[in-house]
Amino acid sequence: MRVALLANLKKNAPSWPGMSPDQWDDLDSEETIEAIVKGLQVGGHEAEFFEANLSLVETLPPFRPDICFNIAESHWGDSRESQAPALLEMMRIPYTGSRVMSLALALDKAMTKRVLAFHGLPTPPFQSFERMDEPLDDDMTFPMFVKPTREGTGMGVSAKSIVHNELELRRQIKEILTRYRQPALVEHYIDGREITVGVVGNLRGPVARRMPGDEDAPRITAGLHFLPPLEVDLARYPAEEAGLYTGRVKTELADDFYYLCPAPVDEEMLIDLNWYTAAAFRVMGCADVARVDFRLDRHNNDKPYILEINTLPGLNPRISDLVIEARAEGVSHAELINSILLQGAARYGLLPKGIQLNWPAARLPLSD
Ligand SMILES: Nc1ncnc2c1ncn2[C@@H]1O[C@H](COP(=O)(O)OP(=O)(O)OP(=O)(O)O)[C@@H](O)[C@H]1O
Ligand SMILES: [Mg+2]
């Protein structure tokens, strides 16, 4: 196939005086782009990278892509991660991964939590703040956790995110509102282990975008492959990171990533984590790939809470959680990339009829 890789390179991003140093921390590096293009080529495809901005309208048609491999985060607006896919839909060009509505929804953590809570899925109680002086709801109890509503890569997350009283809370809300120019998401602070579960595939069966009302209904996971869970080994980071997967841990300290993969969890916990991952994937209407972040409440029997679902999980060949999880199963970066590609291609009917995609969907000579 002819595959256009759509992404936004950190080095191509706009800059201005006084810009926050972490402004573009969630955009991609050349290392990531080169590895994905190479992986697609090793998979037998013609692949080329395109910076995902308005120029796509002119640059893409001459390339005549069969499908785009989309990891574009874009720069501006409250639904930025859905912008490149919206252009593709207007041009009627297929693309991998979740579609416009799911991407916009998953970028907004508060909206995501409303959808999860509606379906009875466990996510920390929360309140969204668009102004500093909004009164605190009665059911919100300290300690709380304050973060931006629509960022990734730990942006705006540091030890100061944990707040113990009204003064700290208001100070942190103000910091988020002014620095990131978006609502602050305030949640109950979940003290405990941190685990993330990657998933590749698409649900089969009568799943729609909702959960059955009956709690005893069969747990449908057919069509999804769960990667081994990754635990961030938070105890090994400097005390000033406060046991959190902070922006600093995800960027400056990323080359010395301390993790346990597969995470040491018992069979029952693994079944629950995978089920919640499938359920979040389902109610958010995701496609092809996602990663769900959890915290286990140490004060409540390690009860798992869903923090968020990442519809564009990082795909850096060395340091991204999803890639490390695949590697823990003996699946290379290139095999992971080609598996995501084929899942997308199958949804658009671009593969021979009746083909069953296994995991990994391709075994390739290049191993990393
Ligand atoms: N309610 C909470 N209680 C305790 N810690 C939290 C809570 N919410 C977030 N955290 C900590 O902050 C980190 C980042 O939060 P979250 O996953 O929501 O943001 P992110 O920056 O979008 O992450 P990603 O890089 O996965 O996109 C979590 O990994 C966790 O360590
Ligand atoms: Mg996260």
- Please report which confidence band the pLDDT of residue 216 belongs to, taking 50, 70 and 90 as the band edges: confident
Checking if the pLDDT of 342 tops 90, the result is yes
Cα–Cα nearest to 190, from 252, 123, 131, 109:
123
Q: Is the CB of 297 under 6 A from ligand 1?
A: no
Q: How far apart are CA 268 and CA 3, in angstroms?
A: 40
Question: Ligand 1 test: best mutation among 244, 298, 306, 323, most atoms within 8 Å of CB?
Answer: 244
Q: Is the CB of 245 under 6 A from ligand 1?
A: yes
**pLDDT tens sequence across 127-141:** 999 999 999 999 999
Ligand 2 is a single-atom ion; what residues have CB below 5 A from it? 293
Q: How far apart are CA 212 and CA 292, in angstroms?
A: 21
**Alpha-carbon torsion, ordered 272, 278, 282, 284, to 10 deg:** 80
CA–centroid distance, residue 201 to ligand 2 (Å)? 20
CATH number of 123-188: 3.30.1360.40, 3.30.1490.20, 3.40.50.10860, 3.90.1170.50?
3.30.1490.20
pLDDT at 15: 92
Checking if the pLDDT of 368 tops 90, the result is no
Q: Model-level pTM?
A: 0.96
Q: Is the CB of 308 under 6 A from ligand 1?
A: yes
Question: Ligand 1 test: best mutation among 244, 307, 324, most atoms within 8 Å of CB?
Answer: 307
| CATH architecture assigned to 2-98 | 3-Layer(aba) Sandwich (3.40)
Q: What is the mean pLDDT of residues 241-262?
A: 93
Find out whether 4 and 69 touch, Cβ atoms under 8 Å.
yes
**pLDDT tens sequence across 199-215:** 999 999 888 888 888 88
Q: What is the mean pLDDT of residues 324-342?
A: 97
The protein residue with its alpha carbon nearest to ligand 1, atom 9, reads 307
CATH class of 192-347: alpha beta
Token output for 126: 């929360």
Which region, left, alpha or beta, applies to residue 22 given φ > 0 means left and ψ of -120 to 50 means alpha? alpha
Which atom of ligand 1 approaches the CA of 155 most closely?
Answer: 21
pLDDT at 162: 98
Q: How far apart are CA 241 and CA 194, in angstroms?
A: 14
Q: What is the mean pLDDT of residues 4-32?
A: 93
Q: Domain ranges for the chain, please list them.
A: 2-98, 123-188, 192-347
CA–centroid distance, residue 135 to ligand 1 (Å)? 24
Could you say which ligand is closest to the alpha carbon of residue 311?
1
CA–centroid distance, residue 74 to ligand 1 (Å)? 21
CA–centroid distance, residue 64 to ligand 2 (Å)? 35
- The fraction of the chain above a pLDDT of 90, given in percent, is 88
Go through the chain and tell me how many residues it has: 368
Could you say which ligand is closest to the alpha carbon of residue 156?
1
In CATH terms, are 2-98 and 192-347 the same topology?
no
Q: Is the CB of 248 under 6 A from ligand 1?
A: no
Cα–Cα nearest to 280, from 106, 79, 99, 78:
106
pLDDT at 356: 84
pLDDT at 141: 97
Cα–Cα nearest to 321, from 236, 242, 254, 247:
254
Average model confidence (pLDDT) for the chain? Answer: 95
Q: Is the CB of 158 under 6 A from ligand 1?
A: no
Q: What is residue 235's three-state secondary structure?
A: helix
Checking if the pLDDT of 340 tops 80, the result is yes
The protein residue with its alpha carbon nearest to ligand 1, atom 27, reads 152
Q: What is the mean pLDDT of residues 169-175?
A: 97
**pLDDT tens sequence across 179-203:** 999 999 999 999 999 999 999 999 9
Which class for 138: exposed (0-12), middle (13-18), buried (19 or more C-beta within 10 A)?
A: exposed
pLDDT at 170: 97
**pLDDT tens sequence across 57-73:** 999 999 999 999 999 99
Could you say which ligand is closest to the alpha carbon of residue 245?
1
Number of Cβ within a 10 Å radius of residue 92? 6
CA–centroid distance, residue 146 to ligand 2 (Å)? 14
Could you say which ligand is closest to the alpha carbon of residue 244?
1
Q: What is the mean pLDDT of residues 45-50?
A: 98
CA–centroid distance, residue 103 to ligand 2 (Å)? 15
**pLDDT tens sequence across 254-307:** 888 999 999 999 999 999 999 999 999 999 999 999 999 999 999 999 999 999
Could you say which ligand is closest to the alpha carbon of residue 112?
1
The protein residue with its alpha carbon nearest to ligand 1, atom 13, reads 245
CA–centroid distance, residue 273 to ligand 1 (Å)? 17
Q: How far apart are CA 16 and CA 28, in angstroms?
A: 19
pLDDT at 158: 95
